[in-house]
Structure 1
Amino acid sequence: MEARLLVLFSGYFASVFSFPSGQISASCDTMLPQHRGSTPQTTASPYFITVSNTTFKSGDSITVTIQSNSGNTFKGFLLEALSVGGDTATGTFTITNGDTQGLSCSAGPNSAVSHTSDSSKSSVTTSWTAPSGAGPVRFRATVLQGFSTFWSGVESQTLMASQISNITCGTGKFCFSDPANCNPDSSGCLFMSVVPSSNGYVFEMSGPVSTLEYIAVGFSDDQKMGNDDDYICATNLSGNVQIQRVFLTGNNSPQSKNLIFSGSPVWNYGNGIMKCCFIAQASISTLSRASASSTYYIFLATGPTEANGQIKQHTKIPLITAAKIDLSAFSGNNKAASGESTLVLGHGALMLIAWMTTGTIGMLMARYMKNAAKEQYFGKGLWFLMHVFLMSLTVILTSIAFIMIFAEVSGWSSDTGAHPVLGCIVMILSFLQPFGAMLRPAPTHKRRFIFNWAHGLNALVIKVLAVATLFLGLQLVDTSTNQWMPKVMGGFYGWEVLFYIILEVNTRYNEKELYEEVNNTMKRESIILITFVCGNLAFLISLLVGIGQS
């Protein structure tokens, strides 16, 4: 009997004074004391948490204090820093006095802090160091007034990260960027991230914009504009950043929606780069009403705004995820392959090859290489065979590119300006050109000159429209701050015009028989063409690399 009483008394004694030294790593996940039969208080907590700063960047130290009001004291506590999106422990604590000690939790050593004794305290202070890649955080504590009296879920205000990072993309948040996996600190990186929080979503946006321009993140049930829930960061005339939420319905004006923030949004705009981070207390809506779904296509777009903050139509094709993203359960496998879709990139690459290389060289062969490449094969001059082959290849490449973009868009792109209109005209005229050539009269026919003029004029119209279409297309996919791809295209056409002039002058000299040796004339024309083709390929490769990075 005495032994039984001794065991019961020992168990009770151990329960009452369990972990008075604060070695409570086993409670890291639940943040609840292992006191049998005890539950948290439901009344307002007499304790609160203060912080030395409400913003931070990687490596910053934040002083964190648990305090009591109305003369209350406490004997024990457990304190952690939790990411707002994901609710996981983050960062490390540095022990600054004898009342606190670090604990090893799931996030590693010193990822939580607790008491060292059960003596009464009115406040405790510690220091927290922000890790790399951290987003918004809150400090959360469980504070024990006594064995069975404690309050859990005591939280600080939200601390916002002043830097945007891609370190935790795929594991701590969903990211979408152009170029893929780019560093948000780089000048040419268009970046967004989103992660669900307890009562909404944490958004980060970063990218190159000018005054009165915006970055928008949209959520949609399909890959078309309309019925989209958009969250926008935009610069105004004062150099400040405005955050808004709108609902898009087709081509109608955006409908502004109420947006409530948790914590204070953090933004920065300087040197042409805007960074914006906020926590939206909202449910994503794609049909003018809240939806229980957490799976969406995600859009990332930029464009201009009115002086009053009203957004205008985006000037470039938005980036759209290839598949729906489940925001409630994303993982490393859901990290987006950022940028344009494969079909869009393939469309652009084939059009560049067709109208920078094969089409251009084919036209030069017909106009300037008749003497230099007049050897007969299959009863036709080499220049003619090369012309037919290159122009046929141009039509084939254009047709494939045309089919690819229609397969991607599944209709008409009403939000890309004149580019699709000019592209369709180029496609139609290119398709008709070889049929007209097959109906040409004999070289000695009295009306042959009509065909020559019509064939040449149609080729000139196609060339001019193709140039304009390529320029507009490159502007749509080029997200760099200096729009280098259209500039490279401009350099190429300057190069092309130069060689047209050189070859035209050479032709005029030949007609006047200024050169006696025909073989030298042929050799000179061939050298001019080879030089042009080498430069042509250099421009083409640089633009193909740029498209691949889009």
Structure 2
Amino acid sequence: MDNRSRVVYTVVMVMACMGMGAEAQNSTLASNTASSVNISSTNCGTTQFCAAQPAGCNPSVSGSCFFVSTSLISGQNLSFQLQGQSSDYVAVGLSRTIKTGQNDYIYVCANINNTVNFLSILYNNGVLTLTDTLSSNLVTGSVSGQTIQCIFSALVPNATSTMSSSTSFFISIYAGTLTNGVPDSPKAVFISTAAVDLSNPNATATNSLNSNNSTTTTTGRAFGLQPTLSQALLILLGGLVFIML
């Protein structure tokens, strides 16, 4: 095989590899036609507390919006509405301290085969542990493309004595990936700068990640094309070495 033939062979192999990567990515992001849950920011500040990234985004409008709202049912029992963009899961976390991952309570809405599955998790020192000690219940959920929505109720644990009320927590919004249906470590999209009373519709929360100039990103398989491109470069390099020999 002469040098020209070798070059043509290498280029064809690279293009084929890139084509397979693009096909795999498109199949990962395939849309689900299930009808969406009706989550809206209409009642924020009147009957429900709300937090969002970007600030003030409306979950009922198409686009990228991480959103959580809470409203009091009775006592420690709260209703949650959660929305976010991820291939695998979105979650809301409740922490007694500003340092997340220290015995926090995580409520996960996971996309498993285009169906929302609800998980209650303890998050401590970077380790997620499934638990049935948190009293919670999925009301409804939906998946549309990478948008995951769910509405659930939870009997939240008591906050510590340093909080303004028994329903005051630092609140977080997460996104993450699944391995064999089990959540991997979450990526924080929103962490409140202070504890907020989740039963108070007039409470406000500021995203501490914005004040640190952090970039909001979702995790999951959205970046699955990157390994494919790396493989293509390796094939190209191997072809060039072959030519030089």
TM over 0.5: yes
What residue identity is the alignment partner of 2:199? S
Identity among equivalent positions (%) equals 26
Deviation at 1:336, TM superposition (A): 2.4
Q: Distance in 1 between matches of 2:130 and 2:38?
A: 30
Is 1:326 the counterpart of 2:201? The answer is: no
The amino acid that maps onto 2:183 is: I
| Contact 2:176 2:218 (8 Å CA) reproduced | no
**Alignment partners' CA distance in 2, 1:183 and 1:339:** 20
User: For the Cα contact (< 8 Å) 1:322–1:341, is it kept in 2?
Assistant: no
Instruction: Give, in whole Å, the separation in 2 of the partners of 1:227 and 1:286.
Output: 12
2:217 equivalent among 455, 466, 478: 478
Match of residue 271, structure 1, among 136, 145, 155: 145
1:175 aligned partner, one-letter code = C
CA contact (8 A) 2:168 2:196 kept: yes
After superposition, residues 12-27 of structure 1 pair within 5 angstroms as none
Q: How many Å apart are 1:182 and its aligned residue?
A: 0.6
The correspondence for 1:235, drawn from 101, 107, 111, is 111
Q: Name the counterpart of 1:21.
A: none
1:241, 1:296 → 2: CA distance? Answer: 25
Contact 1:230 1:247 in 2 (8 A): yes
Distance 1:307 1:481, change over 3 A: closer
Label 1:214 to 1:481 Cα distance change in 2 as closer, same or farther (>3 A): closer
* 1:500-532 CA distance string (max 9 Å, x none): xxxxxxxxxxxxxxxxxxxxxxxxxxxxxxxxx
Q: Which has the higher contact order (CA 8 A, sep 6+)?
A: 2
Report whether the alignment pairs 1:311 with 2:183. yes
Higher Rg of the two aligned structures? 1
| Structure 1 residue corresponding to 2:64, chosen from 180, 188, 199 | 188
Q: What residue is the counterpart of 2:84 in the other structure?
A: 207
Alpha carbons of 1:479 and 1:339: their partners in 2 closer, same or farther (altered >3 Å)?
farther
Structure-to-structure mapping, 1:125-524, within 5 angstroms: 162-185=37-60, 186-198=62-74, 200-210=77-87, 213-224=88-99, 225-236=101-112, 238-260=113-135, 265-280=139-154, 282-284=155-157, 293-308=166-181, 310-314=182-186, 316-331=187-202, 334-338=203-207, 340-342=209-211, 344-345=212-213, 474=215, 477-479=216-218
5+ residue gaps, structure 1: 1-160, 349-473, 485-550
- Is contact 1:220-1:298 (8 Å) kept? yes
Shift of 1:228: 0.5
User: What is the identity, as a one-letter code, of the residue corresponding to 1:321?
Assistant: S
Structure number having the greater helix percentage: 1
Which segments of 5 or more consecutive residues in structure 2 lack a partner in the other structure?
1-35, 224-245
Structure-1-length-normalised TM-score: 0.30
**Cα distance in 2, alignment partners of residues 481 and 184 from structure 1:** 20
Give the Cα–Cα distance (whole angstroms) in 2 for the partners of residues 276 and 240 of structure 1: 11
1:278-306 CA distance string (max 9 Å, x none):
122x232568xxxx722111111111122
Quote the residue 2:231 is aligned against. none
Q: Is the 8 A contact 1:297 1:323 kept in 2?
A: yes
d(CA) in 2 for partners of 1:189, 1:482: 18
Distance 1:482 1:184 in 2: 22
Separation (CA, whole Å) in 1 of partners of 2:117 and 2:102: 23
Matched to 2:217, the amino acid is D
How far is 1:261 from its partner?
5.1
Provide the TM-score with structure 2 as the length reference.
0.65
CA contact (8 A) 2:78 2:199 kept: no
Query: Taking structure 1 as reference, are residues 478 and 257 closer, same or farther at Cα in structure 2, changes over 3 Å only?
Result: same
For residues 179 and 256 of structure 1, the distance between their equivalents in structure 2, rounded to whole angstroms, comes to 31
User: Distance between the aligned counterparts of 2:159 and 2:194, measured in 1?
Assistant: 16
- 1:259 deviation in Å? 5.0
Distance 1:267 1:482, change over 3 A: same
